[in-house]
Amino acid sequence: MFHEQKSFTLVSAHFGDMFWIEQMSARVGSASRPASLRAIRIVDQDRNVEIARQLAGLPGHPEVLTFPEDQVQIDRLGHDHAAALDRCRQLKYGTTHIILLDSDCFPIAADWLERVTLLLGDHQAIVARDPLKYGLSHPCFMVLPVAVLPELNFSEGLLEVGIDTGRLIGLQLSKLGYKVRWDEPARAFRGKRGHYYLDGALYHHGSASFASSPQRQLRSQVEPSIERFFQAKVGRGDFALTLADRAYLRLLKRLGRS
């Protein structure tokens, strides 16, 4: 139905621990990446010169962007992710689509972009379904036509009713008449952490940057020892959870509560 040739710019916003953006960049920015992935843009939300230098040296030669803080959003949510994405949608692109990935969302299957292209044969846009709010989208993974970007708003509902970043993008696209693929999440690590998208081709950890946030309201939402446990497994490419792993997790949770 929608069979014009597709080309992609990958967009991601980085904050905190470099581990996650390094995982993502290693997988999407390799020399063997598909030719249709034309460019990579990373927003440095640390707003730090040294971090920006490190980001620029990641695989794929990403363009590193920095935007001024949106203090109103930071005061409301502890971050201004939505404002950064709204800045990104105002940029010029030389591709037909952008692929939006959270910095802790990355491919774990080599054919991930082929799966995206196949879905775009029958849909005009792809949005991850929020695993906690079924009717809303999640900005961890979206594929959006460049032509529609000026009409979208990642900050909609944020200040008014506290709706988090990009949760209304899927509904905005539908209201504009776009045929949207709502990509369903599947729980990873036996339901203990993270989700898969694209039928298992993408892994999204979720809230990975919170552990290194200066904002107490964000840090309090994760347990550092548990995050280190999963980070080590992800770093090894190990997405299984053995009986021993589950016993160790229970111990970490008890220690975290003590």
Range 247-250 contact pairs with CB under 8 angstroms and sequence separation of 24 or more? 249/192
Mean pLDDT value of segment 104-124: 95
Nearest partner of 204 among 195, 212, 216, 213, judged by Cα: 195
Instruction: Assign domain 8-213 to its CATH superfamily.
Output: Spore Coat Polysaccharide Biosynthesis Protein SpsA; Chain A (3.90.550.10)
pLDDT reported for residue 98: 98
> Does 214 have pLDDT greater than 70?
no
Nearest partner of 40 among 75, 68, 12, judged by Cα: 12
Residue spans per domain, the chain:
8-213, 223-258
Q: Could you read off the pLDDT of 133-184 as tens digits, one per residue?
A: 989 999 999 999 999 999 999 999 999 888 999 999 999 999 999 999 999 9
Phi/psi of residue 231, each to 5°? -60, -40
How far apart are the C-alpha atoms of 1 and 179, rounded to whole Å? Answer: 11
Residue that the structure tokens 């904050």 belong to? 15
State the pLDDT confidence band at 211, using cuts at 50, 70 and 90.
Answer: low
Q: Could you read off the pLDDT of 53-105 as tens digits, one per residue?
A: 999 999 999 999 999 999 999 888 888 999 999 999 999 999 999 999 999 99
**The two three-digit tokens of residue 239, written as one number:** 């997405």
pLDDT reported for residue 6: 95
DSSP the chain: ---SPP-EEEEEEE-S-HHHHHHHHHHHSSTTS-TTEEEEEEEETT--HHHHHHHHTSTT-PEEE-----HHHHHHHS--HHHHHHHHTTS--SSSEEEEE-TTEEE-STTHHHHHHHHTTT-SEEEEEPSSSTTSEEEEEEEEEGGGGGG--TTTTHHHH-PPTTTTHHHHHHHTT--EEEEPPEESGGGTS-EEETTTTEEE--SGGGGG-S-HHHHTTS-HHHHHHHHHHHHTT-----HHHHHHHHHHHHHHH-
pTM: 0.92
